[in-house]
Amino acid sequence: MPGPYDVVIIGGGPGGYNAAIRAGQLGLKTACIEKRAVKGQAAFGGTCLNVGCIPSKALLFASARFEEAQKHFGPLGIKASVELDLPAMMGHKERTVDQLVKGVSFLLKKNKVDPYFGAGRILAPGRVEVTGADGAVEVLETKNIVIATGSEVTPLPGVAIDEEKIVSSTGALSLKAVPRRLVVIGGGVIGLELGSVWRRLGAEVTVVEYLDRLVPGVDSEVAREFQKILARQGIKFRLSTKVTGAASGPDGVTFTMEPASGGAAETMDCDVLLVCIGRRPYIEGLGAREAGVAIDARGRVETDGHGRTSVPGIWVAGDVTTGPMLAHKAEDEAMAVAELIAGKAGHVNYDVIPSVVYTHPEVAAVGRTEDELKAAGIAYKTGKFPFSANARAKTVAEKDGFVKILADAKSDRVLGCHIIGPEAGTLIMEIAVAMEFGASAEDIARTCHAHPTLPEAVRQAALGVDDRIMQM
């Protein structure tokens, strides 16, 4: 029986491998278990690296460059003729993933983490069973267990995913040809990102969303502007609509949908149907329930707010617990858990976790939305500045969108920021750092920003909180 370990981590995604690396840095004897396999080898990195964040961003980048060369070079005085080489684009994606997977394995080895290839299951506090691909079983003894098993695609009743014509996000990342008609079920982050990729490459894209708006959780003003921009790009929308069934045939997919509130059903055809209605925690078969770990009605492992489960010595990080299903949130939780196990002061500030939608333009946010502040009865001030008035945005022909900063009406402390526009995911980090240090809108407004840059739009929005925008 190998061990004893100080820490055994089940799952090698952002929550798992970051917990393992940090534990190793702290001198803890650590093991990390991963069951995902590529070519017979453990593929550390989780959904994010293998079939999520990283491959999707590779395709988002490549497809954006393709469209830019096709449609947007002319006004800049550049004549170009381009054609799509989809296998080569997929090759770029696969090389990127492969390099990063190898990088994670290297970091685990560098920090003296023992890797295990197989499925992990909790037998009891302090004991974890690993079943390898060949069926071989071994039991690890450990002082601490970290559950970092992530999440999986939420299925849609009546729609059977085959990853060929009816696909999840995994299948949508590896289509062998550009579909003529792509229908996306779900108007959330993943659906809009992948819909954008295939729209740029030539597909007719329709998004079917159950709610009456896109990207639930995003500031409603931003969501409305986002839909307008995507519609101008050619994406069609069917809101307040639910899909009730689908079937694959030799010529594509036939599916039925009806109004979310009830009403007459209609049938529609497409070449590829992408199911993107969200993800759910991956907890079944883990042995967590049997070990006494409290799990809520949505299948999420409950914690004390600091990664501890209801069972002493069993911890959790990432998508399998409460909070946004984001790789960087999992990373923060992972580092905090490892530090707490080592007797240090691990901490996660859940009020300052940025989020980004990597469409074009990007959408980014941190902190509270206007909707949340209104619901909570918090008095706030707003500063808003459009990219159409930003000098750098004009020079790079990226004029859609705006920056909106929300600040407490009395203290001026920044409560949230919402950006739709060029490089929004980068720009939001200025606000995240400011919020982490309890900054006011005035603090941002009085910080000198280089000219001409996109961050000047952030400064102008901060000035707008006090009604003194200078550049509009």
Q: What are phi and psi of 372, to 5 degrees?
A: -70, -40
Dihedral sign from CA coordinates of 400, 449, 326, 300: negative
**What is the rounded distance in angstroms from the CA atom of residue 297 to the CA atom of residue 287?**
17
CB 150 within 8 A of CB 319: yes
* Percent of the chain whose pLDDT exceeds 90: 97
Q: How do the domains of the chain map onto residue ranges?
A: 5-152+280-341, 166-277, 355-464
Clarify whether 328 is annotated catalytic. no
**What is the rounded distance in angstroms from the CA atom of residue 129 to the CA atom of residue 123?**
6
The string of DSSP letters for 147-175 reads: E---EEEPPBTTB---SSSEE-HHHHTS-
SS3 343: coil
pLDDT tens-place string over residues 326-368? 999 999 999 999 999 999 999 999 999 999 999 999 999 999 9
Q: What are the b/e assignments for 59-97, b being 16+ CB within 10 Å?
A: bbbbbbebbbebeeeeeeeeeeeeeeeeeebbeebeebb
Mean pLDDT of 115-131: 97
- Confidence band for 201, pLDDT divided at 50, 70 and 90: very high
Q: How many alpha carbons fall within 13 Å on the CB side of residue 245?
A: 5
Cα separation of the two ends of the chain: 69
pLDDT tens-place string over residues 361-403? 999 999 999 999 999 999 999 999 999 999 999 999 999 999 9
* pLDDT score recorded for residue 384: 98
**328, 360, 449, 451: which is the annotated catalytic residue?**
451
Tokens 């990342």 belong to residue: 173
* pLDDT score recorded for residue 3: 67
CA-CA-CA-CA torsion for 407, 409, 413, 418, nearest 10 degrees?
Answer: -10
**What is the rounded distance in angstroms from the CA atom of residue 117 to the CA atom of residue 120?**
9
Tokens, residue 95: 């090389």
Mean pLDDT of 447-465: 98
The structural architecture, per CATH, of the domain 355-464 is: 2-Layer Sandwich (3.30)
- Confidence band for 74, pLDDT divided at 50, 70 and 90: very high
Residues in the chain: 472
Question: Which residues, other chains included, contact 443 with Cβ-Cβ below 8 Å and sequence gap of 6+?
Answer: 434
- β-strand 137-147 against 314-316: which pairing, if any? parallel
Q: What topology is assigned to 5-152+280-341 in CATH?
A: FAD/NAD(P)-binding domain (3.50.50)
The string of DSSP letters for 58-89 reads: HHHHHHHHHHIIIIISGGGT--------HHHH
pLDDT tens-place string over residues 136-148? 999 999 999 999 9
Angle (nearest 5°) at CA 61 between 327 and 36 = 40
- Confidence band for 42, pLDDT divided at 50, 70 and 90: confident
Mean pLDDT of 207-234: 98
CA-CA-CA-CA torsion for 360, 49, 168, 260, nearest 10 degrees?
Answer: -60
**What is the rounded distance in angstroms from the CA atom of residue 338 to the CA atom of residue 24?**
9
**What is the rounded distance in angstroms from the CA atom of residue 436 to the CA atom of residue 326?**
18
Mean pLDDT of 3-11: 94
Residue 445 has pLDDT above 80, yes or no: yes
The structural architecture, per CATH, of the domain 166-277 is: 3-Layer(bba) Sandwich (3.50)
Rounded to a whole number, what is the largest CA-CA distance in the chain? 69
Residue 19 has pLDDT above 70, yes or no: yes
Angle (nearest 5°) at CA 98 between 327 and 131 = 75
Tokens, residue 392: 């750098």
**What is the rounded distance in angstroms from the CA atom of residue 96 to the CA atom of residue 103?**
11
Q: Is 172 exposed, middle or buried (0-12, 13-18, 19+ CB in 10 A)?
A: buried
- Confidence band for 41, pLDDT divided at 50, 70 and 90: confident
Q: Which residue has the higher pLDDT, 134 or 243?
A: 243
* pLDDT score recorded for residue 102: 95
- Confidence band for 1, pLDDT divided at 50, 70 and 90: low
Beta bridge partners of 256: 245, 267
CATH topology agreement for domains 5-152+280-341 and 355-464: no
